[in-house]
Structures are given as C-alpha cells and as structure tokens.
Structure 1
Amino acid sequence: MNFAFNEEQKSLGETVDRLLEDHAALRAPDLSAEANGPAWDALAELGLFAMMVPEDQGGAGLTAVDLALSVEAMGSALGPIAALDALAVTDLLVRHGTPAQQADLLPRIATGELRVAVAVTEQGCDEAPEGVGTTVTGNRLSGTKVLVREAAAAHLFAVVAQSGTGAAIYLVPADAAGVTVRAHEDIDPTCALGEVTFDNVELGAEALVGAANPARAVTRLFDGGAALSACLQVGIAARMLATAVEYARTRVQFGQAIGAFQAIKHRCADMAVAVEAARSATYYGVWAFAEDAPDRARAVSMAKAYAGEVAKHVCNETIQVHGGMGFTWELGLHRYLRRAKVIEHAFGSTLWHNERIVVETLRMDEACSGDKLAAA
C-alpha cells in the first residue's frame, strides 16, 4: 500500500506554491486585504476551484486528498483564506446538494465567479455547529454570525441555523433583503473577517442543503473546513520552520553561524519533529474526511487541534530564533502568527476539538467492547 502523494498531486501543489509566491503582497507586513483579490483571480484562472467539482459540472472530480498539498501551499503563502470556504462548500454540494443546487452553483464556483462564505460561529454560543442560535421559522432566517471570512466580498453565505428538527445549512444570497455585513476589528485584517446579520431573511426554494439528513450535511461541512484548515496550519508551520533554519544558517554571532549553538539546534530540531508529526496527523485526517472513514470525526479533530498547536508554537519559536529583530514589524513574521491564530478559531477551537477527540475515543472503545461481548 502506497501512503505517498502521487506525481499529479505533488505537481498541483507545487504549481499553487509557485503561483502564490509571485504575489509577494500577500506576505507583506502591511495588513491590508487588497492583495487577496488578485490572488483569488489567479487561483481561479489556474482552475483550483474547479478541482473538486464533478466533471459533468465543469470540474476535475478530485477529492480533498488531491488538494491537500495545494491547500498547504496556500497556508505557506498566506493565500486568500476565503478559498478554503469555496472548497469546503464545493465538497458539501457534491455530497449533499440537490441536482438544481449543483447545476446552478458548482459551475460558477468552479470559475471563481461565485464567492461563497461559511457562516457558523456566533458570539456567546458553544462552538459545536449544532448549538448555534440562528433560527429558521416559517421559512425566515434570523440571527447574527461572526468571524465570517471575507464576508464583504461574498456573493452567497452557507449559514448553519436551527430548523424545526435541528441544525441545518441554508444558502443565502448576500444581496437578499435583511442581510447586512459589518467589518470586524481583528488580529489579522488580511482575512477581512466580518459580522453578518440576517434579519427575517426570506429563504428561497433551494436554500436548504441536505434535506434528507441535515445534521449529516452540517457535520460534513464542519469536518471539511476543519480538515482543510489543518492543511493551512501545516503550511504556516513549515514555512516558519524553513525561515528559522535559513536564518540560523546565515546569522553569524561570536564568529560562527548561530545554528552551530546547541540552544538553536535543539529548537530547530524540535520544530522539525513537531511539523512532521502535524503533517502525518493532517494527511490522515484529510484522507479520513475524503473517504468518510468510520473514525472521520476523531481523525479530523486530531488534525485540526494538533496542527493548530504546532503552527502557533513554530511561529513563536521562529520569532525567538530571530532574536530582537523577530519582533519588528518590517520582518513580517507576525503575519504568520496572526493567521495561525485566526485559523485556530475557524471550524472549532483547539479546546473544542480536543473534547471531541475524547468523546469519539470513548464512543469507539465502547463500540469495540460491545462487539467483543457479542462475539463471545
């Protein structure tokens, strides 16, 4: 059995990496979101948003595994974070969308013409998607979502709200009557996070996604976002590790490169081990998500939680390796730490995912014990 990525998957990841490296403004110390537009257009022209769209809808029919290295490259280059929403919603529509939703939305998402933003998080609510307070009553949607990525640029919102039978996903046009967007003041303005308020918004006939099993559709969207977020976090960690190692090789102190000192060697070695461990957890989590494996929930949460911790740790260590200049605005290392912290709270925080890991582990152990008793 081959657990490595194939040449096509590697080539796609390298292509995305080279493309985004040409957009240096994405990584500039400036905290403006203006660079996201040209980068989005370049990714759309490359065909990235069409990769997970079925072939009969104008796409390539690939899976999240095929795009894992590409999303990692987006993390490394600080690419437009809204691209993650586009990929997660594409997977959702492929799995749970109606034929009408797929025919209308997927071709436009594939070209980058239609920008979709996922709206899950609410202020003061539990992070579990099934615990949201936004409600649908009489085909009307009301509630407020926060931390919506590039909300002002979105044409369509995928909103998690309470229906009569539990949480469900509703597709709401950004220009619908009753929808208002307000920009957030946040740690990473390049993500253009926004607060979106839905005031008695009338839902269309094709608004509900996954009518046959709304709860399963919600979990699919949440897991997809978490798995892809882990890829972004690994990309950030790997980029910061490479930056720290390169600086340790070239910075001379007391007549030799600082990488020759044990204190720096050990830091870099520990970071390298952590990044590889995060990669392993993330790749397995993405595979479990793509294949809908029995341990999908636990694998995805392990990936998201651990990759998030590693990304923050490596960012902090890289700043320390650079010494006093690591804290300067012009060097730009703060950009990666800012992005890592924003991603940490997207699709469930580290604490929430760790709690989910415990719950899923106990559930699997209980199921395994039951099977052994039945066999006896």
Structure 2
Amino acid sequence: MAAPSLLYSEVEDDLRASVRALLADRSPWNAVLARCETDQPYDTSVWKSLAADLGCAGLAIPEKAGGAGASWREAAVVAEEVGRAVTPVPFLTSSVIATAAVLALQESAQAAEIGDLLERLAAGRTAAVLAVPFSSAPDAAFSKALLSDAPFSNTVRADDAGRLSGAVTSVADARVADLFIVPATASAGPALFVVDADAAGVTLDAATSLDLTRPLADLTFTEATGRQLASNDAAMTALSRALSTGAAVLASEQLGIAEACLELSVSYLKTRYQFARPIGSYQALKHRAADLWASVAQARAVARYAAACVADDDPDAPVAVALAQAYCSGVAVRAAEECVQFHGGIGFTWEHPAHLYLKRAKSDSIALGTASRHRAALGRLVDLPAAT
C-alpha cells in the first residue's frame, strides 16, 4: 500500500477556513473564558453551527447514512481548529469517538437502529458519548483495566432484560450528551448498549476537571433501560475502533493546541520590548522558539499520518496511533508551558488564554492513554524487547 499524503487537500483547506472563521467569530478565547466561569461552559449555539450548519458532525459518516461521506482526515482538520480555539464542544467525544463505535456496527443485527442513530448523529441533532473514563487507552477495551482497574470502579452490568447497573467515572462531555453508548458485561459476554441520557436510573455527578472547557462527570446506572447494539466480538471491535480513532484524532487536537501556543508566543516575542528591543531578538528566546517550531512541524506529520491511517483502515494504523499519541501529547504540553513562560507575568494570569491551553494540553495528555502507555504499546507492536 502506498504511503498516504500528509499534505492538506484543497477541500481540507476550505473546511479549515470555514471552521476557523466560525470559531473566531462565535467562540473567541475571551468568550470561552467567560463561559468557564459559569456552570454552563458549553455554548450549544456554537455546537449547532459547527455540527449541523457546517456539517462537521457527519464528516466521517457515509452519504447513504445521511453524512458528508468524507473521512477521518477531514474530521482531524476540524479537531485541529477546535484545539486551536479550545472550544467547549463535544466534537471529539460525539462526532469522533461515539460515531466511530456506531460506524463499526453498521453490519450488525441492529442495522435499522444503527442507521437511525447515524442519521441523528450526522444531522447534529444528537450528541452521543461513549461511557468510558476519558483516560481509557485503545488497548483497554473490555479488559480488566477498563472495567475494574484501581482506583476506579468502572463496572456496568446488564441483566437479561437489558437493565444496566453500575458506575463509570470521569466521562468527558457527559453533561451535554443526549445518549450514552455503554460498554457492559451481560450474561453472554461483553456488549454495547445505548441509553438515553434522561432515562430513569441514569444519574450524573460533576467530577473535578482540570480542563474547564471539557468537563468530566461520573455516571451511575441503576437498572437503567438500555437497548443492545452489539455483543461479544462485534462489541469488542467497535469499542476498540472507537478508542483508537479517538486517539488518532486527538493527536490533531493536540497539534492545534501547539500551533496556537506557538503563534501566541511568537507574536508576543515580536511585540514585547525590553531595553528598547523586542525580546524575540534575544538569542536564548529565539532558540527556544525555533526548537518549538520544529517540534510542532514534526507533530503535524505524525498526527496527519495517524488520521490518514485510520481513514484508510491501513494495517499500520495501530502503530501510527501509538506513535502520534506518544509524541503529540508531549509537544502540546511543552508548547503550552513555553507559552506561559514566554509571556512572563501576564502568562500566569487568569485574564490571559495561556492557562486554557495549558489545562487542555495537560488533560489531553492523559486522555485515551498517556504517552508512556502508548510508547509501551508501540514497543509491543514493533516487537521491541521490554526494558530489563
């Protein structure tokens, strides 16, 4: 198979321009910060414009299912812009992770319900969230690490009538979800259920979240009625595909964070004067900025490759995803930290956007598997011997 192109297509450039213009107009950083100071960080009107009016919610959904018929490459471009603007919308969780899980089930026995769910997701009428801890790595799907790893108690069980009971901690964007896709253990084995967010027996408690623009919540199911979407191998494949696709697209969000932090830093270095000269003219700061630029350029390459691999269902996708998360999460955190440092005293203030990027970068570095976990997975995938 030929190596995918890492260049942005004309369509992707046009999509980027549209999304960037929307977010710059409707979700500037000062508006994001103002909403974070309230109990309603999400701007549902911005989400409607992004998901429905621009059609971003259905980018990866086939046209026959009501979507745009594009791919995860285009979704990754949107994720870049969402990261660049630290916009509080459930694009990653609903339009990527949950959608990837549903797409993997198109050939299942519940094809009619899957088709209806895809149409609702594509139209932006429904926001769905996969009910797993936001830290779940792709290789944690239906393993003990996902279901009962300390210090969490993320076990959901289903009885023969499809009633779900259990709890899941640290679920991202649960507060704006219309429905949850819930991995559960049934009598016949692992299964995926869909549960309406307002169903009886579903309770949601806010969890402490570092990232104010992507709040976490703990879910509790008490004999909540669910509709089974898949079981056994189909359910395990769908969950693994969702987490893997999410990790690939998350790398593009991390790239967007790093790009925004680099741009903020360079702009400040050019305009802030000390001793009658711009601080960017000092060699030490120039070297740090140049090193950061090189890291961002490398992050762009690995993020683009990961998005292309999951879009094309490339056999190299597991390696590309592990590599992207092993590298991009660190670059995003470093870029945000440097942004704070370059700005000096103002960079530590609440009134400057640097802390929004730092918190999103730090949160993203844990999401869908830490860099160290992905490095370990990468070592296994390429048959590197374990350290002794």
1:346-357 to 2 correspondences below 5 Å? 346-357=367-378
Say yes or no: does 1:186 pair with 2:209: yes
Residue among 262, 279, 287 paired with 1:258: 279
Say yes or no: does 1:37 pair with 2:44: yes
Residue among 3, 12, 15 paired with 2:15: 12
CA distances 1:242-286 after superposition (whole Å, capped 9, x unpaired): 000000001111111111101110110111011111111111111
Against the structure 1 CA distance between its residues 26 and 51, is the aligned structure 2 distance closer, same or farther, given a 3 Å change threshold?
farther
Contact 2:189 2:232 in 1 (8 A): no
Residue among 226, 239, 250 paired with 2:247: 226
Partner of 1:136: 158
Against the structure 1 CA distance between its residues 156 and 218, is the aligned structure 2 distance closer, same or farther, given a 3 Å change threshold?
same
1:151-300 to 2 correspondences below 5 Å? 151-163=174-186, 167-204=190-227, 207-209=228-230, 213-300=234-321
Against the structure 1 CA distance between its residues 332 and 125, is the aligned structure 2 distance closer, same or farther, given a 3 Å change threshold?
closer
TM-score (norm 2): 0.86
Partner of 2:324: 303
CA distances 1:63-108 after superposition (whole Å, capped 9, x unpaired): 1012221210111011234111222222332232342133221121
Q: Distance in 2 between matches of 1:192 and 1:3?
A: 32
Q: Distance in 2 between matches of 1:102 and 1:250?
A: 53
Partner of 1:368: none
Against the structure 1 CA distance between its residues 290 and 163, is the aligned structure 2 distance closer, same or farther, given a 3 Å change threshold?
farther
Contact 1:171 1:209 in 2 (8 A): no
- 1:175 match: secondary structure: coil
Contact 2:322 2:374 in 1 (8 A): yes
Say yes or no: does 1:114 pair with 2:126: yes
Contact 1:93 1:209 in 2 (8 A): no
Q: Distance in 2 between matches of 1:362 and 1:301?
A: 14
- 2:213 match: secondary structure: helix
- 1:191 match: secondary structure: coil
Against the structure 1 CA distance between its residues 214 and 298, is the aligned structure 2 distance closer, same or farther, given a 3 Å change threshold?
same
- 1:244 match: secondary structure: helix
After TM superposition, the structure 1 stretch with the greater mean CA deviation from structure 2, 220-229 or 195-204, is 195-204
Displacement of 1:236: 0.4
Residue among 337, 344, 357 paired with 1:323: 344
Aligned-partner residue type, residue 92 of structure 1:
A
Against the structure 1 CA distance between its residues 275 and 163, is the aligned structure 2 distance closer, same or farther, given a 3 Å change threshold?
farther
CA distances 1:168-194 after superposition (whole Å, capped 9, x unpaired): 432221122221111112212331321
CA distances 1:120-170 after superposition (whole Å, capped 9, x unpaired): 118999982323222334333222112222212211112223345654432
Partner of 1:69: 77
Partner of 2:103: 94
Against the structure 1 CA distance between its residues 8 and 122, is the aligned structure 2 distance closer, same or farther, given a 3 Å change threshold?
closer
Q: Distance in 2 between matches of 1:356 and 1:169?
A: 25
Aligned pairs, number: 362
Against the structure 1 CA distance between its residues 302 and 94, is the aligned structure 2 distance closer, same or farther, given a 3 Å change threshold?
same
Q: Distance in 1 between matches of 2:287 and 2:102?
A: 46
Contact 1:123 1:145 in 2 (8 A): no
Identical-residue share of aligned pairs (%): 34
Unmatched segments (≥5 aa) in structure 2: 148-154
Q: Distance in 1 between matches of 2:120 and 2:367?
A: 25
- 1:189 match: secondary structure: coil
TM-score (norm 1): 0.89
Contact 1:93 1:101 in 2 (8 A): no
Displacement of 1:293: 1.7
Aligned-partner residue type, residue 71 of structure 1:
A
Say yes or no: does 1:49 pair with 2:28: no
Displacement of 1:340: 1.3
Residue among 85, 91, 98 paired with 2:93: 85
After TM superposition, the structure 1 stretch with the greater mean CA deviation from structure 2, 175-184 or 230-239, is 175-184
Q: Distance in 1 between matches of 2:295 and 2:188?
A: 42
Contact 2:205 2:218 in 1 (8 A): yes
Q: Distance in 2 between matches of 1:234 and 1:123?
A: 19
Displacement of 1:29: 6.0
Partner of 2:152: none
Against the structure 1 CA distance between its residues 7 and 95, is the aligned structure 2 distance closer, same or farther, given a 3 Å change threshold?
same
CA distances 1:202-226 after superposition (whole Å, capped 9, x unpaired): 332xx22466522211110110111
After TM superposition, the structure 1 stretch with the greater mean CA deviation from structure 2, 276-285 or 24-33, is 24-33
Contact 1:13 1:67 in 2 (8 A): no
